[in-house]
Structure 1
Amino acid sequence: MKFWLLTHSEEFKKENSTGNLSALILDHCCEQILWERKSPSSKITDLLVETTLLIYPNQSVICDEEKTVLLAEYTDIVILDGTWQQAKKMYNHSPYLQNFRHHAIEGEKSQFKRRRNQLDGGLCTAEVIVHLLKQNLDLNNAQRLESEFERFNNLIK
């Protein structure tokens, strides 16, 4: 399973970006791609619809019972890496994203404390990846990222 972080340009500048942290820790299975409205990356647009899952809620969201079983069917996972406002903008201005099957993570509470104004029930990028790695039983990578996220999250800024 490979994680593609479709990253808003502002995230690259932030010291508290968990997308940057995730790409650093999981460099072998996680790649950041700059989101550009007018010239989307072929690395994302060339992904196969049948084997790519987008972490973003909509009508085609996978049901809770199916999550673990279906995750194994996907080789590529696209995550919109930015604030909730940025992610919504990125999604709405990128019609190619709407072709992918969608997946929403529900019932989890974020532990991220280095940013304000977080969406209730919303997870940061690192938390999303840890959650998916655990569901896919990639426990070594999940533990590595989770440990680094905990350390990173507790840094005083």
Structure 2
Amino acid sequence: MPHAVSRLRASRLERSVKPFLARGGPKGQRCTGCRLLPTHCICALRPDVQARAGMCLLMADIEPLKPSNTGWLIADVVSDTYAFAWARTEVAPELLTLLMDPQWQPYVVFPAEFVQAERVVHDLMHPANKRPLFILLDGTWDEARKMFRKSPYLQNFPVLSLKAEQLSRYTLRRAQSKNHLCTAEVGALCLDLANDTRAAAALKAYLEVFTEHYLRAKHQLPVDLADAVHVRLQAAIDAA
């Protein structure tokens, strides 16, 4: 069954008045399961791991259409991943229902320097019988700031400010700062905080493999399934 980001992508394509072309124009057929060229497909490498935490992706308009989007990878790994298109003037009723579900403790993941200090937490609060639900604002940095400012339904939740211990290694898009992490990197840090360490390791390794296949497809190079990134992914899967 297609996951939440895949379904959101299909919905967005149905609303498109013209075909969406990734940067660089058409590159041939892409796999519907991983968005890579069929010669570099990673569907068979998708991790099967368990996670107690949930992920809620609020995605900027064309983000689900981009082959380089890494929120898709989170949905591949974390079974309880929800994805919604963000709009300033409306909100999906299903999103509001999710945020009010008593099984979840939502956290808006955003840098502390842009938030009132009383809302900021750096660790999970562990309320009884509640699972963490991490709300990730998936888009460019400017889009994420707009989503944070103009989403009143998020204003009553704690803001989780992450302290990444290493610079982003994601190389498929150019970030405004090396300190800005891609969505999957943020997701992995959240999983670590939630003690879903095996799922976090699998997601980090899966991101590395996705990046390797993406870049090799771009440059028409074969992949080596026995190289270091593939070995790390298999080790993470075996450990889970």
- The verdict on a shared fold, with TM-score over 0.5 as the criterion, is yes
TM range (shorter): 0.7 to 0.9
Cα offset, 1:104, TM superposition: 1.1
Cα offset, 1:20, TM superposition: 1.6
Q: Secondary structure at the match of 2:188?
A: helix
Cα offset, 1:144, TM superposition: 2.0
- Kindly provide the amino acid, as one letter, of the partner of residue 146 in structure 2: K
Matched, 1:146 2:204: yes
Q: Is the 8 A contact 1:84 1:119 kept in 2?
A: no
Cα offset, 1:126, TM superposition: 0.5
- Kindly provide the amino acid, as one letter, of the partner of residue 81 in structure 1: D
Cα offset, 1:62, TM superposition: 0.9
Equivalent residue for 1:4? 56
Q: Deviation string for 1:130-149 (max 9, x for gaps)?
A: 11111222122112211210
TM-aligned CA distance change 1:23 to 1:118, over 3 Å = farther
1:77 to 127, 131, 134: 134
Q: Distance in 2 between matches of 1:127 and 1:100?
A: 22
Equivalent residue for 2:151? 94
Q: Is the 8 A contact 2:108 2:159 kept in 1?
A: yes
Q: How does 1:120-131 map to 2 (within 5 A)?
A: 120-131=178-189
Q: Distance in 2 between matches of 1:152 and 1:118?
A: 22
Q: Distance in 1 between matches of 2:203 and 2:137?
A: 18
Equivalent residue for 1:22? 74
- Kindly provide the amino acid, as one letter, of the partner of residue 120 in structure 2: V
| Structure 1 unpaired stretches of 5+ | none
- Aligned Cα RMSD in Å? 2.0
- Kindly provide the amino acid, as one letter, of the partner of residue 75 in structure 1: P
Q: Distance in 1 between matches of 2:183 and 2:164?
A: 16
Q: How does 1:129-140 map to 2 (within 5 A)?
A: 129-140=187-198
TM-score, length basis structure 1: 0.85
Report how many residues are paired.
151
Runs of 4+ in 1 over 6 A off after TM superposition: none
Equivalent residue for 1:45? 96
Mark the structure with the bigger radius of gyration. 2
Q: Is the 8 A contact 1:106 1:121 kept in 2?
A: no
- Kindly provide the amino acid, as one letter, of the partner of residue 25 in structure 1: V
Q: Is the 8 A contact 2:134 2:190 kept in 1?
A: no
| Structure 2 unpaired stretches of 5+ | 1-52, 219-240
Q: Is the 8 A contact 1:53 1:76 kept in 2?
A: yes
Q: Which has the higher contact order (CA 8 A, sep 6+)?
A: 1
